[in-house]
Amino acid sequence: MNWITRERPKIDRIACPWLIKRFIDPDAQIFYVPFNLVRQKAIELDATPFDIPDTEFTHYEDRCTFDFFLEKYEIEDPALKDMATIIRGADTDNHSLASQSAGLWAISAGLAFNITDDQELLEKGMLIYDALYSWAVHLQKQKHTQNPTEKLLLAVFNTYLDKQNSEEIKTPKWAQELKEIIQDQIDTNLSLSLKEISEGLQIHPSYVSREFSKYFSNLSFGEYIRKLRIEKAIDLLSNPDLTLSEIAYLTGFSDQSHFTRIFKAQMGKNPSDFRRNLRKK
């Protein structure tokens, strides 16, 4: 059976082919193509697309495509289920899910950086997941550090780290990148699509939507964009040469009435009154 997905794989798009070849179809062929060609090439190659939006084999809520493969093919191997948690944490930047997730992400990112050929990348990645599976089956309870004194020092150190981590929530990489994308585009593209941005970040839109408020002042994506629009409108209101209709257009609102309604809800007064108060200062 043929399978096809986006080019330049890192986590899910290597873990899933490994699972297919090792537990579902050893003779499976995996194809990597540019994102905009996946559906066209899927038809030409009679291949099943995976790990892209709006297909059967993809992310669901906070679960990865790897999770869906296990469910779809009813694979009950406990080691694979342990691996699924690690892979999910690495693929979604939620490294709190498993202590191994951050390491898997680091190794996968480095591998993709060093290897530009996707098929070679898959070949090397197969070795990584073979090793992870062996660990999950045989070595989960084995520790590298055996010396009692070293164990005690590590326990004290990890207790300190846990305290530090509990005091501040680390902003994941995708949230930092998303904030930069929004800031870069807010002046020229005020109809930003969460789906399009999520695809650019290679993270499922439903996951970004669910996690967004944690890192953006407890605001949803829509609320955050409206907040930026209003901030831009406040800046433009100081320019007496611009009409309210022009400001509404420049800040991405459908018309002056829509702009006035949202502005009043956010600021407690309509734009014209706000502008008059600015002139008095």
* pLDDT per residue as tens digits for the range 22-76: 999 999 999 999 999 999 999 999 999 999 988 999 988 889 999 999 999 999 9
Confidence of residue 149 (pLDDT cuts 50, 70, 90): low
User: Residue 262 and residue 277: Cα distance in Å, rounded?
Assistant: 18
207 and 270 both lie in a single domain = yes
The DSSP 8-state label assigned to residue 4 in this structure reads E
Q: What is the pLDDT of residues 82-104, one digit of tens each?
A: 999 999 999 988 888 998 999 99
Please tell me the least confidently modeled range out of 37-41, 166-170, 193-197, 240-244: 166-170
User: Residue 184 and residue 174: Cα distance in Å, rounded?
Assistant: 15
CB-based burial of residue 114 (10 Å sphere; 0-12 exposed, 13-18 middle, 19+ buried)?
exposed
Confidence of residue 167 (pLDDT cuts 50, 70, 90): very low
Residue written as token pair 């609102």 = 253
191 and 79 both lie in a single domain = no
Write the CA distances from 32 to 13, 38, 52, integer angstroms: 9, 8, 12
163 inside domain: no
| Contact (CB, 8 A) for 226 and 266 | yes
Of 80, 114, 139, which residue is a domain's last? 139
52 and 104 both lie in a single domain = yes
44 inside domain: yes
150 inside domain: no
103 and 213 both lie in a single domain = no
194 and 106 both lie in a single domain = no
Of 89, 117, 139, which residue is a domain's last? 139
Total number of domains constituting the chain? 2
User: Residue 62 and residue 117: Cα distance in Å, rounded?
Assistant: 29
Residue written as token pair 């309509």 = 270
Q: What is the pLDDT of residues 225-273, one digit of tens each?
A: 788 888 888 888 888 888 888 888 887 777 888 888 888 888 888 988 8
User: Residue 77 and residue 132: Cα distance in Å, rounded?
Assistant: 14
71 inside domain: yes
| Contact (CB, 8 A) for 13 and 32 | yes
**What tokens appear for 105 in the block?**
């992400």
184 and 122 both lie in a single domain = no
Residues whose CB falls within 8 Å of the CB of residue 190, separated by 6 or more in sequence, listed in order: 225, 229, 251, 252
Domain residue limits at 267: 173-280
115 and 195 both lie in a single domain = no
Of 93, 114, 139, which residue is a domain's last? 139
Query: CA neighbours within 13 Å on the CB side: how many for 252?
Result: 18
103 and 12 both lie in a single domain = yes
109 and 195 both lie in a single domain = no
Q: Which residues pair with 32 in a beta bridge?
A: 5
155 inside domain: no
215 and 262 both lie in a single domain = yes
Confidence of residue 193 (pLDDT cuts 50, 70, 90): low
Query: Nearest-CA neighbor of 24 among 53, 3, 42, 51?
Result: 3
128 and 178 both lie in a single domain = no
69 inside domain: yes
117 and 184 both lie in a single domain = no
151 inside domain: no
268 inside domain: yes
Q: What is the domain-level CATH number for residue 190?
A: 1.10.10.60
When the pLDDT of each residue in the chain is averaged and rounded to a whole number, the result is 84
Query: Nearest-CA neighbor of 263 among 250, 246, 281, 248?
Result: 248
**What tokens appear for 82 in the block?**
């342990």
